[in-house]
Each structure stands twice: as C-alpha cells, then as structure tokens.
RNA sequence: GAGCCGGUAGCUCAGCUGGCAGAGCAACGGACUUUUAAUCCGUAGGUCGUGGGUUCGAGACCCACCCGGCUCACCA
C-alpha cells in the first residue's frame, strides 16, 4: 500500500486540518512546564503525607507535558497517560471542567501527540495520582502512529506486561526513534551506557590521564589487524583511511612528552557484522609512561571494577544468565601454557606441518597458508576462549601475533601482552609497548612480507611512526578496551546492536 | 560464505491435505463523567517480499532472486 493511500496517515492529516480550522496550532513553540511527571508525583506524595491537601483532596496545581501513551474515553470524561523524561502520569479530562469546545477538540488528539496540561493533582478512586486537567495545549501533532503495545500490570508479580508490542528487530534498529519512543527499557539501556562512559572518564581523569583527540582520517592506518575503510580527500587529491585504532597516534603523544593520555572514540573496520561486531565501534585506549603490562593489568582490574560498580552499585552482574564477578584480582592465564595443557604437548616444539594438521583437526577448517601465529590463535580461540567466562587475563602471546608489543623479558618467543576475556569474549588488549625503533622496523617488515603473501590484515609499515620512536619513547604500558562490549555486559545485551543507538544496516530500498 | 527459520492490515500474529484473505490491538462512527490491557455496539483497512512456473484455481506447491533473524565460519 502506498503511503499516500494509507487511510491511517490520511486520517491524521485530516485531523491536522480540522485543528487548523478551529484555530488550534498543531506545532507549538514552547510550553511553560512547572514539573517533570516524577516531580509532580513526588509533590503530591509530600502534600498528602503532611496533610496539606484541600478538603476536596486536591494538591498543588502543576503544568506537565509529554507524549500521549494511552487514551480511555468515557463519553463526558476521559483518562490518558502521558510520558516525559521523568516517567508517566495520568491525566483526567472532564466536560464540565473544560467546556464544550475544549472537550470536543480532544477528539482530534491521537496517541503519540505531545501535549501540555495545567491542573491540580488528586488521587483517583483506584489510587493513582492524576492531573485534573483544567487547560490543555497541543504541543506537536503526531502524523504517523507509533507502534505502541497495550500494557497491563501483572496482579501477582507486579511486572509490566506488554501486549502486541513493537518487536521487529530490523525496524527497531532502523527506526530507533520509534523503538526508544515506545520502549522505556531501551532508553534505560542507553542511560547505562552513558553512565559507563562517564565512569571511564572519571576513573582516568582522577589518575591524571589527559583526554586527547587524534585523527580519524589517516594517510596510513595501523594499530590493529583489520581491513580499513578507504576514502579520498579532493583538495589534497589523496587517499585517506578511516582509522582502525588510535594506538599509533597516542604513542606519538607519549614521545611528545605527555605521560598519560587516553581517547574514547570511534574506530572503523571494514569487516563482517555480527552480534559482537559493528563496522564503527567505540574504543577506549590509554597509555601510561614508565608502566609495563603488569602494572596495566592492575589498572585495568581497578578500572573495570570501578565502572561496573558505578553502573550497578556492586562489582558483580549477571550477563545472559551467568553471574560474573569483577572483584580483583582476575585470573592470569599464560597463552602457551593454556594451549599446552589443552593439547597435552608443547605447541612451540611442534613443526609447522604438525601445528597445521592439529589446527585443522581442531577447528575443522582448511588453514593452509596461515602463519604460525594465526594457527596458534585459531586453536586458542576454539579451545580456550569460550571457557573464559569470569574475567581472565590471557598473558604472554606469541611474538608473531603482536607486532607492536615488547618481547617478553624472559622468553623472546613471546611478548608482554595481555587480553582480558569476559563471558568468552575479548574485552581488552594491552601490552608493554614496543619502544625499540630497530625492533619495530623489523616487525613491520615481517608484517609487510605477510602482506605480500596476501594477508590483507597485516600491519603496513609506518615510517612516520618509526621516526617518532627514533626520537625516543619511554617505556609505556598501553590498553585498548572495547567500550561497546563493556556496555553489552553492563546492559546485559546479547547483541552489540542493542548498545549502539544507530547500528550499521544495509540502506533501505528506495 | 554455509545451514536452519522467517517476510500476510499501522503493530503483533493465524491461515490445515491448494478452493471467497482472517483475528487481537491501533484507526473510524455510536453509547458511557474516577478509568487504567476500560467496556459495549457498529465500520473501514491487503501489491500475502519480488519475478517466473505448475494448476480450472496459489498466501499455501516448485524454481530463482531480494531482505531479515538464529547457528556456524570470518573478524588475531
């Protein structure tokens, strides 16, 4: 059915015309509100408690405004609920209070309209605090019906039950405005996310980290293994990449003399989309001069504990039915030891061919042509990661996997690196940052060879970054934390799309 | 990329072995001055994802395609 012929849309337009014909503006400029709905309810509760109500049981006169959620007409009276940023409140309209003309014009209102009302508060026979409307003003006419479900409160559990709600996930993501408008709990999820990010900033600010902004448009991308988005600057006539990580610019700032820096910002990776990956996502990275990865591990423990407690009031939460405890210290699990234990032999002693055949057997994939590091990582991902439900630092990764990490001071085959896993998912990645420009160049060149062999995710050589290293970077610990994944934990969201307001979707037709 | 499931009214869904496209909510008209999933009476509303095919007849069966969800793979 075309939009033009939809009777549902046509009827609302006709009501708009009818309002205009009566001289009622459909789109107001402002409303002089005296209370949010929750404030109005608190005012009445106080008055009732201090016996300050009139003999008719009325409290203060309030002016409240909100979107009409429900309407129950009774001939010469009507009940409605409106909702604002503070919650909901019931309105009561009466013919003999409003007069014929004003009462009749209520017929031109719809669910979804924004109205403001003035009148005293009272408590209905059923006990609900309500505004006895003496005057109402249309603030904005809704010309398209919102997909409200019908709600009831379960007598036994006291829980809100929604009937025939808005549940098509694709439409909810596409029309997030409608999803938010009809689902208070979705608004609450995003409030949690905001509190989480505020908490991250507070923790770092209190420890003298400086918040900085580095380029999103970069002539060369790096700092992670991923395919980038490519764009073009017209005036410079040059290719630019959207960053895949903040890392290399933040470490340039450590070279410049800032001892502690952090950035919370979007990164972009031109890869698949699934429950834990969105092409643009929010990353926190922070770097601290004179620290190694061990010190950063302790800082990450404190940080995670702090923000979980900020959001939930305690350092524990339940994620998808699984209780998770963020009280330090988190378990430390060496990468190679974990693999050796699972496989019952020393993976580093295996020949390339043996490693390949074991990896293919374990993962069930054809892995011909993958390098040693990737093979180890695949096996680790298949055997160990899914079991890491409670917060666990996986430490000391093979050097092939970590081109930007310092070699392990006790075993040159490893690097001083950790990843934090929670609920079987990678949440953070960190290392003692490689500050030896000669070693760094050799690592880049090794990556370039992988690239020449067709590995599109290997790290490109960044000569400017090497120049910065040559000037001298102090020993530095660096951490990256996937903010969306942390938000998934605190909001108990199964999909990253549930913590991103406007997730990336295929464009709509037409 | 593979497998499974799905796309029918504004929303949520039903539609059997192929036989006049349905329900609830929302909407519209009417009754109702303390209701709250308000209630009661009545009305209207459809490119059944798209395109082919089979058939006297397709929402249903067959083929292709589009879109989505889930699982797996990919994403160190």
Distance from CA(A340) to C1'(B16), angstroms, rounded: 58
Interatomic separation, CA of residue A76 and C1' of nucleotide B32, rounded (Å):
8
Count of Cβ atoms closer than 10 Å to residue A158 Cβ: 7
Which nucleotide across the nucleic acid strands is nearest to A419, CA versus C1'? B76
Prediction pTM value: 0.91
Tens digits of residue pLDDT in A156-171: 676 677 776 788 888 8
Q: Does the pLDDT of residue A190 top 90, yes or no?
A: yes
Round the average pLDDT of chain A to a whole number and report it: 90
Nearest to A421 by CA among A375, A383, A386: A386
Hey, is A482 helix, strand or coil?
strand
pLDDT digit string (tens) for A485-499? Answer: 999 999 999 889 999
% chain A with pLDDT above 70: 96
Q: Is the CB of A170 under 7 A from strand B?
A: yes
Strand B closer than 7 A to residue A306 Cβ: no
d(CA A378, CA A189): 33
Angle between helices A463-471 and A437-452 (to 10 degrees): 170
Residue A302 has pLDDT above 80, yes or no: yes
Find the range with the poorest average confidence among A107-121, A265-279, A282-296. A265-279
What ipTM was estimated for this complex? 0.86
Residues 181-220 of chain A within 7 A of strand B, judged by CB, are none
A242 Cβ contact partners less than 8 Å away, ≥ 6 residues apart: A216, A217, A218, A221, A228, A229, A230, A231, A268
Residues A497-508 have a mean pLDDT of 85
Give the CA A79 to C1' B32 distance in Å: 13
pLDDT digits (tens, 9 = 90+) for A103-143: 999 999 999 999 999 999 999 999 999 999 999 999 999 99
Q: Report domain A186-327+391-499's class.
A: alpha beta
Token pair 């075309």 is found at A2
Q: Is the CB of A234 under 7 A from strand B?
A: no
Pairing label, strands A322-325, A417-422: unpaired
For chain A, the domains span 3-145, 186-327+391-499, 331-389
pLDDT digits (tens, 9 = 90+) for A405-436: 999 999 998 999 999 999 888 999 999 999 99
- Tell me, in Å, how far CA of A364 is from C1' of B2? 14
Provide mean pLDDT across the span A380-398. Answer: 89
Residue A510's pLDDT band, with cuts at 50, 70 and 90, is very low
CA nearest neighbour of A226 among A499, A21, A482, A487: A482
A99 touches strand B (CB under 7 A): no
Whether the CB-CB separation of A217 and A265 falls below 8 Å is answered with: no
What is the spatial distance between Cα A240 and Cα A232, in angstroms, rounded to a whole number? 5
Q: What is the CATH number of domain A3-145?
A: 2.40.50.140
- Closest residue (CA) to C1' of nucleotide B44 is A7
The pLDDT of residue A506 is: 77
Kindly give, in sequence order, each residue whose CB lies less than 8 Å from that of residue A466, ignoring residues fewer than 6 positions away.
Answer: A437, A440, A441, A444
CA A304 centroid distance within chain: 16
| Helix axes of A483-491 and A293-312: crossing angle, nearest 10 degrees | 40
Q: Do domains A3-145 and A186-327+391-499 have the same CATH topology?
A: no
- CA A421/CA A394 separation, integer angstroms: 7
pLDDT of residue A156: 67
Q: Which two tokens stand for residue A200?
A: 């991250």
Distance CA A510, CA A508 (A): 7
User: Residue A509: what pLDDT?
Assistant: 58
């Amino acid at each position: 059915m075309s939009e033009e012929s939809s009777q549902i849309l046509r009827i609302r337009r006709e009501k708009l015309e009818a309002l205009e014909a009566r001289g009622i503006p459909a789109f107001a400029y402002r409303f002089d509100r005296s209370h949010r709905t929750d404030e109005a309810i608190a005012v009445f509760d106080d008055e009732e408690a201090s016996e300050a109500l009139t003999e008719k049981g009325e409290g203060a006169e309030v002016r409240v405004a909100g979107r009409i959620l429900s309407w129950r007409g009774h001939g010469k009276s009507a009940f409605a609920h409106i909702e604002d940023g503070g919650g909901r409140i019931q309105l009561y309209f009466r013919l003999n209070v409003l007069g014929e003309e004003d009462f009749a014009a209520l017929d031109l209102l719809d669910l979804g309209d924004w109205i403001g009302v003035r009148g005293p508060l009272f408590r209905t026979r059923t006990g609900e605090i309500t505004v006895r409307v003496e005057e109402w003003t249309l603030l904005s006419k809704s010309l398209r019906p919102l997909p409200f479900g019908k709600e009831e409160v379960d007598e036994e559990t006291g829980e809100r039950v929604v009937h025939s709600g808005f549940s098509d996930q694709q439409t909810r993501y596409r029309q997030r405005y409608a999803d938010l408008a009809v689902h208070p709990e979705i608004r609450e999820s995003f409030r949690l996310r905001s509190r989480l990010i505020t908490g991250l900033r507070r923790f770092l600010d209190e420890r003298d980290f400086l918040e900085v902004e580095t380029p999103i448009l970069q002539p060369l991308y790096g700092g992670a293994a991923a395919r980038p988005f490519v764009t073009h600057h017209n005036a410079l006539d040059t290719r630019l990449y959207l960053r895949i990580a903040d890392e290399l610019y933040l470490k340039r700032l450590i070279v410049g003399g800032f001892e502690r820096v952090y950035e919370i910002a979007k990164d972009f990776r031109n890869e698949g989309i699934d429950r834990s990956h969105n092409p643009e996502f929010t990353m926190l990275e922070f770097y601290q001069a004179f620290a190694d990865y061990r010190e950063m591990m302790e800082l990450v423990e404190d940080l995670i504990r702090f923000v979980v407690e900020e959001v939930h009031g305690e350092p524990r939460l339940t994620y998808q039915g699984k209780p998770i405890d963020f009280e330090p210290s988190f378990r430390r699990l060496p990468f190679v030891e974990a693999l050796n234990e699972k496989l019952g032999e020393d993976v580093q002693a295996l020949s390339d061919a043996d490693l390949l055949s074991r990896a293919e057997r374990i993962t069930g994939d054809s892995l011909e042509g993958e390098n040693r590091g990737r093979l180890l990582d695949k096996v680790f991902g298949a055997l160990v990661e899914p079991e890491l439900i409670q917060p666990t630092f996986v430490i000391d990764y093979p050097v092939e996997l970590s081109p930007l990490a310092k070699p392990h001071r006790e075993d040159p085959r490893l690097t001083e690196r950790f990843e934090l896993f929670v609920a079987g998912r990678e949440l953070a990645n960190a290392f003692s940052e490689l500050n030896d420009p000669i070693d760094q160049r050799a690592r880049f060149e090794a990556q370039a060879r992988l690239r020449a062999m067709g590995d599109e995710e290997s790290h490109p050589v960044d000569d400017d970054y090497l120049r910065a290293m040559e000037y001298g970077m102090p020993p530095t610990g660096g951490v990256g934390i996937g903010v969306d994944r942390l938000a998934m934990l605190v909001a108990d969201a199964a999909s990253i799309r549930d913590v991103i307001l406007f997730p990336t979707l295929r464009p709509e037709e037409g």
